[in-house]
Amino acid sequence: GWADYDGWWLAAGTGTTLAGLALAEAGAHPVYGAMAVPDDHGVAQNVRAIAAQGVELLDASRGGFAKVDGALLDFIRTTEQATGLPLEPLYTGKALSALKQQIEAGRFVPGTRLIFVHTGGLQGRRGIKG
């Protein structure tokens, strides 16, 4: 059923959506945030000020907000072709790419069920050449 999941995975810009999910979960399931900005931007501190438990953050910024590289663009194109899911390079593309890297690194055991939250932001696709 709907409650049969192991956690959430989403992009974190300011971190408020992430913090809201963590508050709603109240520790029942972890909420993983792939930060779109480097750690020194204060997002982690903001999130922890709102929701102190059940949050794990990782830097998915690829060196800075709006930093895009060929590997990320290739990942977005390949994923869109395979799934039809539109992504953009500022938030959702970085978050899904970071999730793939974490899975490949063995962070999650096979069969782990994560809900990926697509937070929109598709206006960020304008800069991508198809």
Give the pLDDT score at 28: 93
pTM: 0.88
pLDDT along the chain (130 residues), means of 10: 86 92 94 90 87 88 85 95 93 95 96 93 67
Q: Model confidence over 9-35: pLDDT tens digits?
A: 999 999 999 999 999 999 999 999 999
DSSP assignment string, the chain: -TT---EEEEEESSSHHHHHHHHHHTTSS-EEEEESS-GGGSHHHHHHHH--SSEEEEE-STTSTT---HHHHHHHHHHHHHH-----TTTHHHHHHHHHHHHHTT-S-TT--EEEE----GGGGGG---
Give the pLDDT score at 126: 67
Give the pLDDT score at 57: 92
Query: Is the distance from CB of 111 to CB of 104 less than 8 angstroms?
Result: no
**Cα angle, residue 83 at apex, residues 82 and 88 outer, rounded to 5°:** 100
Give the pLDDT score at 107: 96
